[in-house]
Amino acid sequence: MSSPADAATGQGAGGPGVGSGPQRPAGPITRGLTDLRRPSATLEADGSHGPSPDPRSRVDPGARAGTLDDLRSIIRRIEGARPPRPAPEPVERIVGGELVETEAGPLVVVRREYPLGHRHGLLALERAAGISPAILELIARAGEAPDDARRLLFLDTETTGLAGGAGTYAFLVGAGFLEGDRFVVVQHFMRDFDEEPALLAALHALLQRASGVVTFNGSGFDLPLLETRFVLARRRWPPAAHVDLLRPARRMWSSRLDDCRLATLEREVLGLLREHDVPGFQIPALYFDYLRHRRAAPLARVFSHNRDDVLSLAALLGWFTLACEDAAALAPWQLAGLGRLWERVDSERAVACYRAALDGGLDGIDGHRVRLRLALWEKRRARWDAARALWEAAAGAAGFDPLPWEELAKYHEHRRRDLAAARAVVLRALALARAAGAPPRVGAELAHRLARLERRLGVTITAGRRPAPAVQDPAGPDRDR
């Protein structure tokens, strides 16, 4: 039970009141502060409420203004002691470009000019300038060859992502083209997303005067992305022929190189090794870092990377020109790749490349494939002796491939009508298949052919004559006819 004294001090029988412990007297911080519950009262040193202040004793406005001036002076001294933050250097100054005001808005433009004798790796850019329509037809899709090599536009993009889609932007577009006796590379860069209309307008102007676009994997990435950006900006993508150098590159080098990435072709074909290059997968992160912090210095490597990509497109196109004009200078495996390119448009030139590759000593898996391609070409023209020689050479190669053995068996059975020779070929193929651990399907197909041949041989022995062409196979119609 609390006593009056306890009540006066705010303590009960249980000891101190709220917040157990001795009551702390008001210190210098709380002394004289206005009681928030009674704005007109003040707290005394002992925590009790003092009398309401006389309105005439309030702080003089002049004194209050002086206090504010003192605070402002202190803030200015603090800020003056801190070194000023330098303004970020404009990106156009770092990359050696200029900020251009266009009808669609501002845009950073970087322009570089190269003499046609400039070498990118081992190749001079003038090779791309001298490409013929026939070679363009060779490396382009059927019906998509540009009609004027001097108005080609070499295009490469740097984007905010590698997956594509409507949310991916091309923030840097590099375009190369011939201008008189110079090769010009122009790069358009948007400093933020609101500058995309200016970038697309500049690209649209270049596309309209181009006879065709040259890219590397542009069919799968660059062009679909740009077309999407054009549609979202309510622009029409200008129709232009397209040469995607990835397709002929795969035909040429996929059998010899680990991959056909542009960096690999630069190293193995163009003899170019980039120094201090930025990996492509890091480029989106560098751009987003620029958007957040406006640090433009790391973007210098991105511009250099993009410019090298454009120059590599021109150099690769020049390589195809040189290869077609001087095929004798190519290695045997390169001749085989060139033959694969020519197959679609000129079979005679393809065969000439294949034969030159074999004459040059092409062996291994490449030589095996070339022999089979040549044998197929001879078979289609009913040149059976030449086809047989190629099949026999392919069958005698290291390893086991059922294709030349099957072709030899069909040749002996259907062309020479020599069932015994066909049976001997199949028996030999079965033995090799078992030794090589061929898939069960291969062994089953050879066993089926052997059983059919032996049935036909049994008919021949019984009748005492060679089987006539009209003899019906007991197993049913010959599936090879």
Residue 361: CATH number of its domain? 1.25.40.10
pLDDT tens by residue, 130-157: 888 888 888 887 667 888 888 999 999 9
Per the listing, tokens 């015994």 go with: 420
* pLDDT above 80 for 116: yes
If one compares 53 and 93, the residue with the highest pLDDT of the two is: 93
Q: Are residues 172 and 228 in the same domain?
A: yes
pLDDT band of 395, cuts 50, 70, 90: very high
Evaluate whether 174 touches 306 at the Cβ level (below 8 Å). Answer: yes
Q: Count how many Cα atoms sit within 13 Å of the Cα of residue 128 in the half-sphere of its side chain.
A: 32
The verdict on residue 8 lying in a domain is no
Residue 14 confidence class, pLDDT cut points 50, 70, 90: very low
Residue listed under structure tokens 């490449």: 366
- Is there a single domain that holds both residue 228 and residue 171? yes
Q: Please indicate, yes or no, if residue 3 is contained in any of the structural domains.
A: no
pLDDT in the model for residue 65: 63
Instruction: Give residue 193's domain range.
Output: 95-325
Tokens representing 95?
A: 């990359």
Tokens at residue 158, please? 């740097």
Q: What is the pLDDT of residue 315?
A: 96
Does the pLDDT at position 354 exceed 80?
A: yes
Q: Is 252 helix (H, G, I), strand (E, B) or coil?
A: helix
Residue type, 152: L
**Number of Cα atoms under 13 Å in the Cβ half of residue 51:** 4
Sign of CA dihedral 99, 100, 102, 108: negative
Same-domain check for residues 317 and 420: no
Q: Decide: 148 and 211 in contact? Cβ < 8 Å.
A: yes
- Contact between residue 384 and residue 415 where contact means Cβ atoms under 8 Å apart: yes
Q: Read out DSSP for 381-444? A: TT-HHHHHHHHHHHHTSSS--HHHHHHHHHIIIIIS--HHHHHHHHHHHHHHHHHHT--HHHHH
Same domain, 140 and 266: yes
Q: Which of 17-26, 291-300, 452-461 has the lowest mean pLDDT?
A: 17-26
- For the ranges 114-118, 166-170, 456-460, 474-478, the maximum mean pLDDT occurs at 114-118
Q: Do 321 and 427 share a domain, yes or no?
A: no
Residues 232, 180 share a domain: yes
Return the pLDDT at 72: 82
Q: 312 and 367: one domain?
A: no
Domain contains 268: yes
Q: What is the pTM of this model?
A: 0.74
The verdict on 342 and 316 lying in the same domain is: no
Spatial distance between the Cα atoms of 459 and 434, rounded to a whole number of angstroms: 29
Residue 15 included in any domain? no
**For the ranges 6-10, 20-24, 191-195, which has the lowest average pLDDT?**
6-10
Residue 21 included in any domain: no
Q: Which amino acid is at 183?
A: F
Tell how far CA 101 is from the center of its chain: 31
Residues 45, 116 within the same domain: no
User: Which of the four pLDDT bands, split at 50, 70 and 90, describes residue 5?
Assistant: very low
Task: Check whether residue 311 and residue 183 sit in a common domain.
Answer: yes
Percentage of residues of the chain with pLDDT beyond 90: 64
Mark which of 276, 300, 325 sits at the end of a domain: 325
Residue 470 falls inside a structural domain: no
Task: Identify which has the larger pLDDT, 282 or 66.
Answer: 282
pLDDT at position 220: 92
Please report which confidence band the pLDDT of residue 189 belongs to, taking 50, 70 and 90 as the band edges. Answer: very high
337 domain residue, yes or no: yes
What's the pLDDT at 381?
93
Q: Which of 34-43, 84-93, 134-143, 337-346 has the lowest mean pLDDT?
A: 34-43
Q: Please give the tally of structural domains in the chain.
A: 3
**412 and 285 in one domain?**
no
123 to each of 91, 148, 309, how far by Cα in Å?
A: 32, 21, 14
| Of 304, 325, 346, the domain-final residue | 325
Band the pLDDT of 467: cuts 50, 70, 90.
very low
Q: In terms of pLDDT, which residue wins out, 357 or 163?
A: 357
Assigned domain for 251 exists: yes
Strand partners, 242: 213
Listed residues 274, 299, 325: the one ending a domain: 325
**Of 223, 199, 202, 251, which is closest to residue 144 (Cα–Cα)?**
223
| pLDDT tens string 312-328 | 999 999 999 999 888 88
Residue 109 has pLDDT above 70, yes or no: yes
pLDDT at 199: 97
254: domain CATH number is: 3.30.420.10
Higher pLDDT, 96 or 67: 96
CB atoms within 10 A of CB 239: 7
Predicted pLDDT of residue 131: 87
pLDDT, one tens digit per residue, over 327-345 is: 888 999 999 999 999 988 8
pLDDT the model gives residue 29: 46
Contacts of 175 (CB under 8 A, 6+ apart): 153, 154, 155, 185, 186, 187, 188, 203, 206, 310
User: Could you tell me how many residues make up the chain?
Assistant: 481
Q: Tell me: pLDDT of 389 over 50.
A: yes
Give the separation between CA 154 and CA 38, rounded to whole angstroms: 79
Residue partners of 142: CB distance under 8 A and separation at least 6? 344
35 pLDDT more than 60: no
Mean pLDDT of 300-308: 97
- Do 316 and 456 fall within a single domain? no
Least trusted range by pLDDT, from 11-20, 384-393, 402-411, 412-421: 11-20
